[in-house]
């Protein structure tokens, strides 16, 4: 079997046997005629396993779709009051919003309902996390370069849609937390100059929470039909690009047993393992691993426990409300924006700044342009500027996420949120650029010692 997973050459020109070193591929090819562009596609050898992050994201989406179908069949997107008749004694016989009551029933009255709901939550977390790490891997190794710019744009769109899915899904239980989060999103959308009112009417269809009766079914449509359909279309486009273009692959290093690799200018050669059966077998293992991790987390670590949070109420303001972790940096940016911008602080911190970050990420392929095709991954240590930008971006996300949890930090330190604000603002303004500059000059010195120029 070891012979089957070692590097093999796939040649697109005729007359040369594909994967000549793979006995398993050749055995099946003799019986099933696998000499096909799809089945014979080469997947790169990856000594670090980082290339599998995309598969983890894909399988998380599959689990999201399966569990979401189960939940969608029993969820009721209405805000009108109904009498809850279920096992949660705290609400039994009481009038609560219909959406909240349906989530209670799914969680506590339907067999395995809580497990499926938690699996949906954790699959969503893993979907966003795997996609984000996948994009960081592509960014730091320069795998977005010519000719793979279109796939980077598709990936950016997928990440943005995944965040939107998370926001609309968070609102559906119509508990106190979701109402607060929806109100923040509504206010941020309304704060956009010129087009804010139009976008507010387009997305929300009215004021919130005054028109929650109409807005909640709209969010349900976005979350269950519209965005998943677009995401599936983009995943199909991503796979199409993947099949049409060759994978990037790790360059040979001096530590490899066979340091002489293929000619980088010879585009007819791709090093890796065949899609069928080697990569398919690996994908089955990754799917089982992903399912196991999500099941473990769903069984032992429940999140968004609506019975404790309570139904949405305009008369209450829950303490300690925080968004999901992937929105925490936006929440932090909102908190760190001083209210000194003539009433535009919410727009600058909650819309403009995240929009600039996401815009730079999506358009980076045109900032770091390469005229000639590049088919090998790069060592991040050999790319001072992109690596420094990436480190500064990660630092920004971490610092702003900490700022988003300022009340928790203040409580831990025994201080008030107002007292730690200057320190949080200083960290936000100084730490990311300082880390980026340190990384940049350290890598420049490293290249200079090697006698190379970035």
C-alpha 313: how far from its chain's center? Answer: 31
Would you state the pLDDT for residue 6?
43
Written as one string, the DSSP assignment of 230-291 is HHHHHHHHHHHHHHHSPPPBPPP-TTSSS-----TT-TTEEEEEEIIIIIHHHHHHHHHHHH
Q: Is 34-250+268-314 CATH 2.40.30.10?
A: no
pLDDT digits (tens, 9 = 90+) for 214-237: 999 999 999 999 999 999 999 999
By CB neighbour count within 10 A (0-12 exposed, 13-18 middle, 19+ buried), where does 378 fall?
middle
Of residues 379 and 10, more confidence is placed in: 379
Would you state the pLDDT for residue 446?
93
Cβ atoms of residues 126 and 119 within 8 Å: no
Q: Is the pLDDT of residue 42 over 90?
A: no
pTM of the model: 0.86
If you ran DSSP here, which 8-state letter would residue 109 be given?
A: I
Q: Is the pLDDT of residue 114 over 60?
A: yes
Cβ atoms of residues 182 and 222 within 8 Å: no
CA distance 133 to 156: 12
The rounded percent of the chain whose pLDDT value lies above 90 is 60
Q: Is the pLDDT of residue 12 over 60?
A: no
Q: Which two tokens stand for residue 120?
A: 């949906």
**Residues ≥6 apart with Cβ < 8 Å to 442:** none
Mean pLDDT of 293-310: 93
Mean pLDDT of 193-216: 90
Q: Is the pLDDT of residue 67 over 50?
A: yes
Would you state the pLDDT for residue 450?
83
């Amino acid at each position: 079997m070891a012979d089957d997973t070692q590097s093999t050459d796939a040649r697109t020109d005729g007359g040369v046997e594909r994967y000549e070193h793979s006995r398993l591929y050749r055995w099946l090819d003799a019986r099933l005629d696998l000499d096909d562009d799809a089945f014979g596609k080469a997947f790169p050898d990856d000594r670090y396993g980082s290339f599998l992050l995309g598969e983890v994201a894909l399988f998380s989406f599959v689990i999201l779709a399966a569990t979401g179908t189960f939940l969608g069949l029993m969820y009721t997107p209405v805000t009108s009051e109904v009498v809850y008749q279920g096992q949660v004694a705290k609400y039994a016989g009481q009038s609560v919003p219909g959406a909240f009551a349906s989530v209670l029933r799914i969680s506590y009255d339907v067999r395995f309902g809580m497990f499926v709901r938690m699996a949906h939550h954790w699959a969503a977390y893993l979907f966003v996390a795997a996609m984000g790490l996948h994009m960081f891997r592509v960014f730091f190794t320069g795998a977005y370069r010519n000719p793979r710019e279109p796939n980077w744009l598709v990936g950016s769109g997928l990440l943005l849609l995944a965040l939107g899915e998370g926001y609309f899904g968070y609102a559906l239980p119509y508990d106190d937390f979701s109402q607060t989060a929806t109100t923040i999103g509504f206010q941020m959308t309304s704060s956009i100059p010129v087009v804010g009112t139009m976008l507010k009417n387009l997305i929300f269809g009215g004021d919130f929470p005054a028109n929650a009766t109409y807005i909640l079914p709209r969010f349900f449509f976005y979350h269950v039909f519209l965005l998943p359909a677009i995401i599936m279309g983009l995943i199909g486009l991503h796979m199409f690009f993947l099949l049409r273009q060759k994978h990037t692959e790790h360059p040979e290093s001096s530590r490899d047993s066979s340091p002489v690799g293929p000619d980088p200018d010879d585009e007819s050669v791709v090093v890796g393992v065949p899609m069928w059966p080697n990569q398919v077998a690996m994908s089955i293992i990754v799917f089982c691993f992903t399912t196991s991790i999500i099941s473990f987390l769903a069984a032992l670590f429940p999140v968004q426990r609506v019975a404790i949070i309570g139904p949405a109420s305009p008369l209450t303001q829950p303490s300690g409300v925080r968004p999901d972790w992937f929105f925490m940096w936006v929440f932090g940016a909102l908190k760190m924006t001083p209210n000194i911008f003539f009433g535009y602080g919410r727009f600058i911190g909650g819309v403009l700044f995240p929009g600039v970050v996401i815009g730079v990420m999506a358009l980076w392929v045109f900032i770091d342009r390469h005229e000639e095709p590049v088919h090998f991954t790069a060592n991040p240590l050999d790319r001072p500027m992109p690596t420094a930008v990436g480190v500064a971006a990660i630092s920004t996300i971490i610092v702003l996420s900490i700022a988003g949890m300022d009340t928790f930090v203040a409580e831990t330190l025994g201080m008030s949120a107002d007292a730690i604000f200057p320190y949080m603002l200083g960290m936000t303004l100084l730490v990311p650029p300082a880390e980026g500059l340190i990384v940049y000059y350290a890598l420049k010195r490293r290249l200079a010692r090697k006698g190379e120029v970035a």
